[in-house]
Structure 1
């Protein structure tokens, strides 16, 4: 690939996608009016198993999967539209997000039929939560340097190692872990494999990592002589790097990469009055124009996925630009709030709460899903610059 071969086209949304958008908006309005979905005071995905069950009842988890595995066989762009609406409205989707976004698709693409028949219908029903076991202490975003190993034993694999930043591992039933199963001379990427680990298995210890916001979403998972059966292997032994590369395209390109801070921007728009300073309106307009550009890029990647492509480089571009945007959004909103004196004397309490939480949360934007430095390396290699 070269720089000139990067070509992202804005797809045209189908009537089916627009109809689904209206259905999702109606669902959100009903949840709001019933009191089950209060206005947000925090950013992030949120975690609510009951909400996940209600979303599953609509058939909106595993939306693109074959019906035989609990899906609806709808398009990737329809799924994009659905998630865009849910995220923009701050619907708590964390209980199924990882499983729907990447664990399920990995099993669909690389797993055995037995794995698909066991896990996918349960994910689609909102009954299973998955966690991601990629990052490790001292490795960061350099996945090829991981130290977790799995050795072949009679009837399965014995795993030893640590995984960190494992979001919702303390709430999840399963984690897909990336481990080294063999050593190939001259290649750090060869010899890696993916295994499904039952987080209730003997030898699994989950320790909380509390964020600056005082929240327990992240964990460190210690795996000590954890034995998994042969059928826990996803795909071919040693093919883990290729599988993870495909998986990360799902993780890095979605609307959550630029919609985490959307609720902060929308709350500012609601609070900002008609007498706002021209400089504030100019800054806000610039921010919204960037958001719309990111939306076009993200939709283009969704279209590529729908066509069966693996847009790793394009997804990395979206993630890099999206996380920079989200941090910039927090800074711009803070400056406008200060300049317009919007939250003094008890005014705009929800905007105040969102801004406080966003400032605590913002440092994670450019780390999750791969640091910006790693992403730029992927982009540079993808377009032939290194």
Structure 2
């Protein structure tokens, strides 16, 4: 396989899988009438869609067959993920469980946890949130103050998490907490992870609404919440290593590039339906529009190829933490840039165009969500530090 073919992620059975998921999405949308959305992996929660997607065999692709999964590779999941996002499908209900919790269980979970939780993930019926960020401890997770104290048969969890996506509709939250006192010489030591059912006594989930009333984020308070020993994820004290391993999957995926893809594609289709307005037109676009669309798509394709290269590394069991951080930084900045670039492009549309109302709706959502793109998954400023430190270490070694 050539290097270019490797970056296409369309070789062999991947091409067949891509065709299958496209056909499913076309058929499902026609039957159930969902509308493609911007930022669908965060904003569009549809349990029925998640169940249908799972029934069709497109959830739990990387989970081994012994736990009910499909036993395929990370690239298979990448292809399905890419198509779901490009179509703006309502995937938020199962997204975090399939993307982040499943790899964590496979890498660090007990057999009991795997048999208890993974089949529900494969069925698209386990909804999970991730409890990492806190007030004063966003991208700097080493500053986390939530603590867990040992008690008979388990742990008592106390503290507050913030920006917890989907906690109000999730079955569980995977919480990062401190289980031993801070050590200034070893800031990343003493953390552990816990699987916390959201119906546990002592949990208070408070909504954090966007300006238009959308509710995706939450503040979650834990007041001496009991967590049994069988809900400890991994080893006590190994939480930092576990979290950073999971973040490679969170930061490098297509959702760091394609959150605004539905807006971009809809704008290009709308522009393509217009007559050329000047003598200097190239095909259906004038020179300026053609150049701007070309630049937009060239940036998207380049970022996608970087993301695919990380996916291939992860699929082979390699360490791609630095490149994942780079994908997240470049990809989310691209997503932010596209919002106003597309706004400028659609200004040239005929006011009577039937494409204009749905485009404006997508644009309004994109503008509202745009500040979030570079924050979630670790702020870009912090991730640049991760990349710089890695490059410095490589240079001095």
Per the normalisation by structure 2, the TM-score is 0.91
Correspondence list, 1:11-30, <5 A: 13-30=10-27
Correspondence list, 1:302-321, <5 A: 302-321=311-330
Q: Residue by residue, what CA displacement relative to the aligned partner does 1:257-284 show, whole Å, maximum 9, x if unpaired?
A: 1111000000101110242431122111
Q: Is the 8 A contact 2:191 2:237 kept in 1?
A: yes
Match of 1:128 among 117, 126, 129: 126
Query: Are residue 348 (structure 1) and residue 356 (structure 2) matched?
Result: yes
How many Å separate the matches in 1 of 2:181 and 2:8?
A: 43
Q: Root-mean-square deviation (CA), in Å?
A: 1.6
How many residue pairs match? The answer is 376
1:214 offset after TM fit, Å? 2.1
Per the normalisation by structure 1, the TM-score is 0.94
- Higher mean alpha-carbon deviation, 56-65 vs 363-372, is at 56-65
Q: Residue by residue, what CA displacement relative to the aligned partner does 1:148-197 show, whole Å, maximum 9, x if unpaired?
A: 00001111000000001110000000010000001253111000000010
For structure 2, which runs of at least 5 residues remain unmatched after alignment? 1-5, 277-284
Query: Which residue pairs with 1:240 in the alignment?
Result: 239
How many Å separate the matches in 2 of 1:50 and 1:341?
A: 36
1:336 offset after TM fit, Å? 1.3
Query: Are residue 370 (structure 1) and residue 366 (structure 2) matched?
Result: no
How many Å separate the matches in 2 of 1:239 and 1:347?
A: 52
Query: Which residue pairs with 1:96 in the alignment?
Result: 94
For structure 1, which runs of at least 5 residues remain unmatched after alignment? 1-8
- Higher mean alpha-carbon deviation, 255-264 vs 347-356, is at 347-356
Query: Which residue pairs with 2:46 in the alignment?
Result: 48
How many Å separate the matches in 1 of 2:356 and 2:344?
A: 15
Q: Is the 8 A contact 1:294 1:318 kept in 2?
A: yes
Query: Which residue pairs with 1:148 in the alignment?
Result: 146
How many Å separate the matches in 1 of 2:301 and 2:355?
A: 29
1:13 offset after TM fit, Å? 3.7
Query: Which residue pairs with 2:229 in the alignment?
Result: 230
Q: Is the 8 A contact 2:38 2:260 kept in 1?
A: no
Q: Structure 1 stretches (4+) deviating beyond 6 angstroms? A: none
Q: Secondary structure at the match of 1:384?
A: helix
Q: Secondary structure at the match of 1:20?
A: helix
How many Å separate the matches in 2 of 1:309 and 1:37?
A: 40
1:40 offset after TM fit, Å? 2.5
Query: Which residue pairs with 1:84 in the alignment?
Result: 82
Correspondence list, 1:70-219, <5 A: 70-183=68-181, 185=183, 186-219=185-218
How many Å separate the matches in 2 of 1:324 and 1:177?
A: 28
Q: Is the 8 A contact 1:343 1:349 kept in 2?
A: no
